[in-house]
């Protein structure tokens, strides 16, 4: 198999994980006390991994750039978490969740990993309830579910529109219990600047204390990266301002292959851009598509009148509206997967039917849901002959209970009341399916360097289904990594503590210091944001929802030139030996300027359309993605060789032994 061995265990799909757990080596409790693990990132994957590893008895050090682990961006996930519990009795099973995820990912993910994820999903819900996560419940006291895109069952568990927050606070509380026991040392306001390899194994990190500016050495027997995605390469995204690729990219430069960088999720329901000052985009949860209907005007003159403010959407008659998702995809309607919904919105707006000033927005309308719920409420409360006003009032109450916080957020940002007039939404960068290549054990191509959650590439193929990111983060952290890392660490029981005065640590620290000096030495022409915005525009225009060979080649050239300009002319005020937020941003943007180029190169190499990767040259006559399984049924894993243009492609062939490859259809 050569350099890329996925290490998928043999045996039937459903037995692989159980068998693997029985076969791998364990570390006895006394030895665990002598083994140190570094976890970088404290979101759902990192927080849950840190807590579990500490419970098992390992000595854990966690690192996050935020002032508290509780602020990791998993907190912003809104809609829910999938689990194959089949509480609704609607035919769900681990196999169906597995199947939906593989299909949703457009057949570009690894079967064995996805099956394990589906298998562990039910455990997550049990675990979180035991931790006191207040999931939504029905009147009988049982857990409630809702539906998400790309599936035909209700398997999504939720806590209002703040599911990510509640799950993260659950993981954070599990971490706190271990911090209180002294098993986790938590380094907040710290950023990983480099990874240290000793004899080819990950043995520590170089970190910068973001308050004092001090460069620190930390050693361990293994390093776990759970540092999230790289959506901010687009500048505007739904990611947090600080979300970055630095830790993963530093590991990549040290030998970890980077897989499928061009697989990015553009989420269909975000609040549209309002102006040049915009610093980030805000998501409106996919759960809204349970009840909201997406439309644009059917006629061009209506669209123009709406854009000019001469016509209001509620004035448009039912027959003058184009519910284009329901029209094009009758089987799934408004609940098609995200990549499909996003492209359909772009198609309508490009054709001139957009509904805001910039022409880049479509409507998400709750009027019919308000009516439907109102009628139902009137019936269940025994209100006979309720008038329209009463029905609307009752319906709005139901919508408020379901999505109140999202509606409030929309109103604060847009200054319009979404109970009265349809929301305006447009696709925005949201999630990155690509990430560090990992084998079945979640180990990267660097021995002892593991990667979990959004930061790895493993489970979502070319498109992630809604409510599956939380599931993957927690499955990796609570239930997968703690087992698989033990197998590796069982060889380290006699190693003893790793000293930090090794020459490898000296060299890595010097390299970090040199890089900081070089950043500070820029000629002082332009701010960091100036470069970040330029990079974002290249990415969005040329590597966004639709890509073609010419644009991608241009993007590669432009990013490469921009990177050279950045290093020569960036302007960073202040000093490196204290708190300096501009310096923090500069380090992150410097890495985005390398990743962006690799991203474009990856997209240019993949001559097919699949999931979120849509190449204009490869589409069906109806404008759907045209996959090429014969030539591209593989994971692209890129090896660092200096400049991104020199990166070397390694392919992991994907084998489908349990699922038949089909053209994805949601019609």
Q: What is the DSSP string of 445-470?
A: SSBTEEE-GGGB-SSSTTSPPTT-HH
Among 11, 132, 330, 496, binds other proteins (CB under 8 A): 132
Could you give the dihedral angle defined by the CA atoms of residues 78, 81, 87 and 89, in that order, rounded to the nearest 10 degrees?
Answer: 90
Among 16, 103, 146, 160, binds other proteins (CB under 8 A): 160
For residue 54 the two structure tokens come to 């500490």
Could you tell me the CA-to-CA distances from 209 to 38, 217, 315 in Å, in that order? 16, 11, 57
Query: Which range touches other proteins (CB under 8 A), out of 170-178, 298-306, 560-568, 608-616?
Result: 170-178
Q: Do the Cβ atoms of 427 and 264 come closer than 8 Å?
A: no
Site for other proteins in 558-577 (CB under 8 A): 571, 573-574
Query: Which range touches other proteins (CB under 8 A), out of 18-26, 157-165, 371-379, 609-617?
Result: 157-165
User: Does 360 contact other proteins by CB under 8 A?
Assistant: no
Measured from the CB atom, the residue of 252 and 402 that comes closer to other proteins is: 402
E strands of 98-253, at which residues? 156-157, 184-187, 190-198, 201-209, 215-219, 222-225
Among 60, 84, 159, 370, binds other proteins (CB under 8 A): 159
Site for other proteins in 598-637 (CB under 8 A): none
Total number of residues binding other proteins (CB under 8 A)?
80
Strands 222-225 and 36-40: parallel
What is the CA angle 619-625-626, rounded to 5? 65
Could you give the dihedral angle defined by the CA atoms of residues 113, 114, 116 and 117, in that order, rounded to the nearest 10 degrees?
Answer: 120
Site for other proteins in 5-34 (CB under 8 A): none
Measured from the CB atom, the residue of 55 and 487 that comes closer to other proteins is: 55
Per-residue mark of binding to other proteins, 400-439 (x: CB under 8 A): --------xx--xx-x------------------------
The closest of 186, 148, 237 to 471, measured between CA atoms, is 148
Catalytic residue among 108, 155, 293, 338: 338
Measured from the CB atom, the residue of 137 and 641 that comes closer to other proteins is: 137
Site for other proteins in 366-405 (CB under 8 A): none
Residues paired with 653 in a beta bridge: 634
For residue 100 the two structure tokens come to 């939906």
Residue showing tokens 């292959």: 257
User: Does 288 contact other proteins by CB under 8 A?
Assistant: no
Measured from the CB atom, the residue of 178 and 445 that comes closer to other proteins is: 178
Query: Which range touches other proteins (CB under 8 A), out of 5-13, 195-203, 521-529, 595-603?
Result: 521-529
Site for other proteins in 209-268 (CB under 8 A): 211, 238, 240-242
**E strand or H helix that includes residue 389:** helix 388-414
Site for other proteins in 466-495 (CB under 8 A): 478-479
The distance from CA 480 to its chain's CA centroid, rounded to whole angstroms, is 19
Could you tell me the CA-to-CA distances from 200 to 148, 278, 488, 491 in Å, in that order? 43, 43, 14, 15
* Maximum C-alpha span of the chain: 83
User: Does 55 contact other proteins by CB under 8 A?
Assistant: yes
User: Does 48 contact other proteins by CB under 8 A?
Assistant: yes
Could you give the dihedral angle defined by the CA atoms of residues 449, 455, 457 and 461, in that order, rounded to the nearest 10 degrees?
Answer: 160
Where helices occur in 75-145 by DSSP H, the ranges are 94-104, 111-130
Per-residue mark of binding to other proteins, 266-285 (x: CB under 8 A): --------xx-xxxx-xx--
Measured from the CB atom, the residue of 135 and 640 that comes closer to other proteins is: 135
Per-residue mark of binding to other proteins, 174-213 (x: CB under 8 A): x-xx-xx-----x-x----------------------x--
In the residue annotation, 293 being an active-site residue is answered as no
Active-site residue numbers?
A: 338
């Amino acid at each position: 198999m050569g350099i890329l061995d996925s290490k998928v265990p043999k045996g039937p799909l459903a037995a692989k994980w159980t068998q693997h757990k029985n076969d791998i080596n364990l570390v006895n409790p006394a030895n665990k006390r002598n083994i140190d693990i570094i976890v970088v990132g404290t979101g759902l994957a990192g927080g849950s991994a840190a807590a579990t590893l500490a419970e098992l008895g390992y000595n854990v050090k966690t690192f996050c750039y935020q002032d508290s682990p509780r602020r990791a961006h998993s907190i912003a996930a809104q809609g829910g978490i999938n689990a194959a519990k089949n509480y609704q009795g609607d035919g769900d099973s681990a196999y169906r969740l597995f199947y939906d995820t593989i299909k949703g990912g457009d057949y570009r993910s690894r079967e064995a990993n996805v099956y394990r994820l589906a298998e562990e999903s039910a455990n997550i819900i049990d675990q979180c309830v035991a931790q006191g996560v207040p999931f939504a419940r029905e009147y009988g006291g049982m857990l409630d579910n809702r539906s998400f895109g790309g599936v035909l069952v209700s398997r999504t568990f939720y806590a209002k529109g703040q599911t990510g927050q509640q799950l993260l606070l659950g993981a954070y509380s599990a971490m706190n219990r271990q911090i209180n026991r002294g098993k986790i040392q938590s380094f907040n306001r710290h950023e990983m600047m480099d990874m240290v390899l000793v004899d080819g194994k990950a043995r520590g990190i170089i970190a910068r204390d973001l308050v004092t500016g001090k460069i620190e050495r930390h050693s361990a027997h293994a390093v776990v990266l759970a540092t999230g995605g790289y959506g901010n390469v687009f500048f505007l995204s739904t990611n947090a301002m600080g979300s970055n690729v630095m830790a993963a990219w530093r590991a990549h430069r040290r030998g970890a292959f980077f897989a499928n960088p061009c697989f990015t999720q553009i989420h269909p329901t975000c609040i549209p851009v309002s102006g040049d000052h915009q610093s980030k985009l805000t998501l409106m949860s996919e759960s809204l598509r349970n009840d909201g209907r997406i439309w644009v005007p059917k006629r061009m003159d209506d669209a123009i009148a709406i854009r000019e403010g001469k016509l209001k959407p509620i004035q448009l008659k039912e027959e003058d509206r184009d519910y284009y998702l329901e029209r094009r995809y009758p089987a799934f309607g408004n609940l098609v997967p995200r990549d499909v919904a996003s492209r359909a919105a772009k198609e309508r707006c490009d054709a001139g039917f957009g509904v805001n000033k910039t022409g880049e927005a479509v409507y998400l309308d709750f009027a019919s849901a308000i009516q439907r719920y109102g009628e139902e409420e009137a019936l269940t409360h025994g209100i006979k002959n309720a008038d329209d006003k009463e029905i609307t009032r009752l319906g709005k109450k139901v919508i408020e209970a379901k999505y109140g916080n999202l509606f409030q957020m929309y109103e604060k940002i847009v200054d319009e009341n979404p109970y009265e007039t349809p929301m305006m939404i447009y696709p925005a960068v949201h999630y990155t399916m690509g990430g560090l290549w990992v084998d079945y054990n979640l180990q990267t191509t660097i021995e002892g360097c593991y990667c979990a959650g959004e930061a790895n590439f493993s489970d979502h193929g070319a498109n992630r289904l809604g409510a599956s990111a939380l599931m993957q983060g927690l499955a990796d952290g609570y239930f997968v990594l703690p087992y698989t890392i033990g197998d590796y660490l069982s060889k380290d029981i006699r190693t003893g503590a790793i000293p930090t005065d090794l020459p490898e640590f000296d060299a890595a620290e010097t390299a970090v210091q040199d890089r900081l000096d070089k950043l500070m030495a820029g000629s002082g022409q332009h701010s960091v944001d100036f470069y970040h915005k330029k990079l974002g525009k290249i990415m969005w225009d040329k590597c966004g929802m639709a890509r073609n060979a010419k644009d991608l080649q241009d993007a590669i050239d432009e990013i490469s030139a921009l990177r050279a300009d950045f290093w020569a002319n960036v302007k960073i005020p202040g000093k490196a030996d204290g708190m300096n937020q501009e310096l923090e941003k500069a380090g992150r943007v410097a890495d985005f300027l390398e990743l962006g180029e690799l991203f474009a190169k990856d997209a240019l190499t993949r001559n097919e359309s699949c999931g979120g990767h849509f190449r204009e040259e490869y589409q069906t006559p109806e404008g759907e993605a045209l996959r090429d399984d014969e030539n591209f049924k593989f994971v692209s894993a890129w090896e660092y060789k200096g400049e991104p243009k020199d990166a070397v492609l390694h392919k992991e062939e994907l084998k489908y032994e349990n699922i038949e490859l089909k053209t994805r259809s949601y019609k």
